[in-house]
Chains A and B, each alone.
Chain A
Amino acid sequence: MMRIHFEPDACVGHGRCYALAPQVFDADDLGHCVVLLSEPPAELADAARLAVASCPEDALTIDE
């Protein structure tokens, strides 16, 4: 099972995560990340991995 870890202090709202995996991440009113599913199901795993890898601030990490 994959587990997503989010570091709010590092997030500045690039919005890559919720654009690439909208079922796993959403935006708050500042445009910063909100994790919807910290343990996404298998069918969303690829999207989640791409989203995490795309964060330019390294605010997201995954434990597999």
Chain B
Amino acid sequence: MDPGDAVNPQTGEANPYLPEVAANPIPFYERLRDHLPVAMFEGFGRGTWIISRYEDVRWALKHPEIFSSDFVAVDIGQDRPLIPLQIDPPEHAKYRRVIDPTIGPHEVAPLEGELRVVVNDVIDSFIARGSVDAHAEFTVPLPCIVFLSMCGLPLEDLDKLLVWKDNIIRPNTGDPEQDAKVRRATGAALYAYFEDAIDQRRGGSGTDLLTRFLTSEVDGRSMSQEEMLDICYLFVLGGLDTVTSTLDCSLAHLAQDPIQRQLLADDQSIVPAAVEEMLRYHTPVMQILRAVAQPVELHGHKFEVGDTVMLMLGSADTDPTEFGEDASEFDATREVNRHLAFGGGPHRCLGSHLARLELRVALEEWHRRIPDYTVAEGAHLEYSPGIREIVSLPLVFEPVTVAVAE
């Protein structure tokens, strides 16, 4: 199937949740923008409107009083609205003022050295083989190890955390009711795990993320246990698969684009720009949701209060009106790049500074050590819709013997 066929201008419908679209979304995005700037997606058991042009998406992001985040749009096993994702301004800013500094640019910069060691350890575990499932062995463990280490949690908990994360994001039992049950049970386990970890840190003087939540204040009071738990929950849900999927898309792309790969391997100073271009071109979080809080009109369509709206970040990020005629091409040296892969407006990704650091160091070290690689012959790359992870990413390269330290 051609991904563009997932848009039907006759009926006004579009379906971003097809595997063909996730694997190759650009033709889908193009048809949406050109033919259905307001489209209808009949999924999730109720209709959702899709907005796809750059200026429209940017406008919606900047107007939380119209396009609100204050709803539990998706049941992901959470007990309450997630802080700060599902809280609207002005309340929202209070939390951001507290959480942002714990993970701001100056805060994450010192992690670079440690991160480089982690990345190299992971590469060491497979480089001698000359082949790897880069998803399972590289892009999945990396952000989880970083998260555990930032929270001062033991590395042995890695497998447990990975299972919980997957059970919440994609329980895949095949039965919606059963899915919801798995999510609830896992959510409860995750809350209990962090509750325990936070209790252990009370009165302590550590510098890890959890201890810093304990000593932070919102509106002149310390954060409640619930608030801290909500933030932890969101870090697990928002900070792991997103980085994994960006790295999946990046490695798969470069494995198939030897010219851009060579640019990157030859001159690592372009890695930061290449990271931004990966985020733009692949927009790993394809879309985000909002609820209409005030009646509003766009392209002749009248939105009503309570409507659900999907802001298609991926199509905004490949819109030629913003990115020029070469918007649907990948250019690691693109200069002006106002992509919305981290969202925009008040909810703009809180973890973006950490994410950028992880992506840069991972791509630098990978290409320093494995400059030349391809997708294993016969491999079919399957992308998951919504957050564009690649289910399995078998890569092959020249094996390298790792010197074992004495």
Contact = CB atoms under 8 A, between A and B. Distances in A.
A31 B104 contact: yes
Contacts of B342: 14
A64 B344 CA distance: 28
Given A15-B352, A56-B339, A56-B344, A30 B97 contact: yes
A30 B104 contact: yes
Nearest to B346: A12
Given A29-B104, A30-B101, A57-B62, A12 B338 contact: no
Interface string A14-48: 11101100000001111100000000000000000
B96 A30 contact: yes
A35 to B, nearest CB: 15
Given A30-B96, A57-B62, A13 B338 contact: no
Interface residues of A, number: 18
Contacts of A54: 336-338
B338 A16 contact: yes
B105 A27 contact: yes
Interface in B74-116: 96-97, 100-101, 104-107
Contacts of A19: 272
Contacts of A55: 338
Given A12-B345, A19-B272, A57-B344, A29 B101 contact: yes
Given A54-B338, A56-B338, A29 B352 contact: no
B58 interface: yes
A13 B343 CA distance: 11
Interface string B349-372: 000110010000000000000000
A15 B31 CA distance: 31
A1 B337 CA distance: 26
A38 B356 CA distance: 26
Contact of B335 (A15, A27, A50): A50
B312 to A, nearest CB: 16
A4 interface: no
Interface of B: 58, 62, 96-97, 100-101, 104-107, 272, 335-340, 342, 344-346, 348, 352-353, 356
17 contacts: A12-B348, A13-B100, A14-B348, A14-B352, A15-B105, A15-B356, A27-B104, A27-B106, A28-B104, A29-B104, A30-B97, A30-B101, A31-B100, A50-B336, A56-B340, A57-B62, A57-B345
